[in-house]
Amino acid sequence: MGIIKFWLNYRIRKIVILLTSKKEYCIVNKLQLENISAQVRRDIIRMTNFAKSGHPGGSLGCTDLLTVLFFDLMKIHPPDFKMNGIGEDVFILSNGHISPVYYSILARRGYFPVSELASFRKLGTRLQGHPATAEELPGIRISTGSLGQGLSVAAGLALAKKSHKDQRFVFVLQGDGELQEGQNWEAFMFAAHHKIDNLISIIDCNNKQIDGNVDDVMSLKNLNAKIESFGWIVLEMNGHDHEIIRQTLDEAKNKCGNLRPVCILMKSIMGKGIDFMENDHKWHGVAPDDQQRDLALAQLKETLGDF
């Protein structure tokens, strides 16, 4: 059994390495997606532990979404990254504090060496606590983390693509607590008014923010009806089922081109995959200590090799 397990892990690693060298689509099967998600979650735990800071909770909750986006859906060119994003799908991370999952996904997809994940939050490195363009890290097109700004940027990018007859899509990930920022609602109104129908917003609805439950801090009430009233098409999905994520994203793409932007409300669990972190807002911005790191890693299979 040990030999079989070793061979299977070797084959999975080899397949993923080959896939990440491709220039555009990187279509993988269910098992490969599960293994990528597991490894990315290990990366998140190890990165935040080594740095003794960072935001593991939301990163763990958005791992499955970003795995599907970057490895199974978006048309992208990792080895030939260009800031203008012409002819490829573009992703904007509005809630930039969940940079651990973003950096891990970018590295595992081939934008930069996986070994660089060890430099997370170190002075003078490219992997700062919030993504920034000053470091010229491949995959990063906008400095984010000042919450509420990502949708505005994404709307502008999508409008530019439409103006240039570029048929690709712009995806933006936002947090639900982030929607307490007023700029989001200006952007929702702007995108609908200008019929930006190549724009897909995904809102991470985990009902958690740094101070507690979103419903307690400042409730968003009926978010579906609210966004729909601005003129958007609204879908909902489970954020931890790869197949459902892919199906919903495909549905969102199919609904584009009808003069209305699309929003997906993604139900997720903060800290997903680690039993003592799940649904606990304290893991919004607290790094695991060494004991907690070991407990967390014991729940996650090493599938692609740790950095």
Run of H or E including 189: helix 183-193
Is residue 246 assigned to a domain?
yes
Range of the domain at 88: 2-297
Residue 5 has pLDDT above 60, yes or no: no
Strands (E) in 38-169, as ranges, are: 90-93
What pLDDT is attached to residue 24?
A: 73
Is residue 302 assigned to a domain?
no
Average pLDDT over residues 214-227: 98
Is residue 304 assigned to a domain?
no
Is residue 289 assigned to a domain?
yes
Is residue 89 assigned to a domain?
yes
Residue 16 has pLDDT above 70, yes or no: no
Question: Structure pTM?
Answer: 0.93
What pLDDT is attached to residue 152?
A: 98
Average pLDDT over residues 212-224: 98
pLDDT band at 27 (very low <50, low <70, confident <90, very high): low
Backbone φ/ψ region at 171: left (φ over 0), alpha (ψ -120 to 50), beta: beta
Is residue 51 assigned to a domain?
yes
Q: What is the CATH number of the domain that holds 83?
A: 3.40.50.970
Run of H or E including 236: strand 233-238
Q: How many domains does the chain have?
A: 1
Quick one: how far is CA 145 from the chain centroid? 13
pLDDT band at 28 (very low <50, low <70, confident <90, very high): confident
What pLDDT is attached to residue 174?
A: 98
Sheet architecture: strand order including 90-93:
90-93, 170-175, 199-205, 262-267, 233-238
pLDDT band at 8 (very low <50, low <70, confident <90, very high): very low
Q: pLDDT, tens digit, for every residue of 142-185?
A: 999 899 999 999 999 999 999 999 999 999 999 999 999 999 99
For residue 202, give the nearest of 263, 149, 269, 157 by alpha carbon: 263
Amino acid letter, residue 249? L
Residue 285 has pLDDT above 90, yes or no: yes
Q: Tokens 């490829």 — which residue?
A: 88
In percent, the amount of the chain with pLDDT more than 70 equals: 92
What pLDDT is attached to residue 271?
A: 98
